[in-house]
Amino acid sequence: KAGVTQTPRYLIKTRGQQVTLSCSPISGHRSVSWYQQTPGQGLQFLFEYFSETQRNKGNFPGRFSGRQFSNSRSEMNVSTLELGDSALYLCASTDREVGHYEQYFGPGTRLTVT
């Protein structure tokens, strides 16, 4: 099976702009989680989508949002970008349906806000 894919791999944006990142999970996986990774904070959970519904949400401001499509692909959006949003954004997919929680990550999208 193909792994988790994320696009784009790199992005440079300016403060105040918005950005949309995309994630395609492993075929058959219906759960997609998003994480922000920074050197200072490590891996922080943003949210999880399962069957197009947000299932869990981390402690991030409302500027961070996401959605999931019927084919399980997911997007996350960050509005009004701040310098502190510069990070590696990772998505991970899980096959929850059969009770297995192995979570596999994509390569990430490196977002730089200037």
By beta-carbon proximity to other proteins, the closer residue of 12 and 18 is 12
By beta-carbon proximity to other proteins, the closer residue of 17 and 112 is 112
Q: How far is CA 31 from CA 39, 44, 60, 86, in A?
A: 26, 17, 19, 25
Q: How far is the CB of 6 from other proteins (least distance, A)?
A: 8
Pick left, alpha or beta for residue 80 (phi over 0 → left; psi -120 to 50 → alpha; otherwise beta): left
By beta-carbon proximity to other proteins, the closer residue of 14 and 99 is 99
| Segment (H or E) for 8 | none
How far is Cα 61 from Cα 33, in angstroms, rounded to an integer? 16
Q: How far is the CB of 2 from other proteins (least distance, A)?
A: 14
**Interface with other proteins (CB under 8 A):** 4, 6, 33, 35, 42-43, 45, 48, 56, 58, 90, 92, 96, 99, 101-108
Q: How far is the CB of 52 from other proteins (least distance, A)?
A: 18
